């Protein structure tokens, strides 16, 4: 019983201390057929660089519409448009920064 309680406590604390990217982005996108890395490529093709991409993602997450989504019409018709984010401004910026740093390709090209 004590082991189960400690395990539950550990898992609960792990979730609470996970960053916004892991808690919100990864968890929500887990069931979609397109990975976050593939979506990153779409964003990069549309926005071209870090500053524009981060601004585009932030705007979309705050005001999601079909017209500004980088995903295909087929993807949107099958999975819809996401709901408006409930993240605070700080959490949103941190999650986007983590997303950028995780998948950016510029420093990996040599």
Tell me the per-residue pLDDT of 60-106, one tens digit each, with 9 for 90 and over: 999 999 999 998 899 999 999 988 999 999 999 999 999 999 988 76
Domain ranges in the chain are 19-108
The whole-model pTM stands at: 0.76
The pLDDT of residue 57 is: 94
User: What pLDDT, in 10s, does the model give residues 3-54?
Assistant: 666 455 444 444 444 688 888 888 878 888 888 999 999 899 999 889 999 9
CB count in 10 Å sphere of residue 43: 20
Q: What residues contact 51, with CB distance under 8 A and at least 6 apart?
A: none
The pLDDT of residue 29 is: 83
């Amino acid at each position: 019983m004590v082991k189960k309680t400690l395990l539950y406590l550990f898992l609960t604390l792990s979730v609470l201390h996970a960053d916004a990217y892991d808690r919100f982005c990864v968890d929500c996108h887990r069931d979609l057929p397109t990975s976050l890395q593939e979506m990153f490529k779409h964003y990069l093709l549309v926005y071209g660089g870090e500053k524009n991409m981060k601004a585009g993602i932030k705007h979309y997450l705050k005001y999601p519409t079909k017209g500004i989504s980088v995903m295909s019409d087929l993807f949107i018709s099958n999975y819809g448009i996401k709901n408006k984010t409930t993240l605070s401004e700080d959490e949103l910026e941190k999650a986007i920064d983590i997303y950028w740093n995780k998948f950016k390709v510029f420093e990996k090209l040599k």
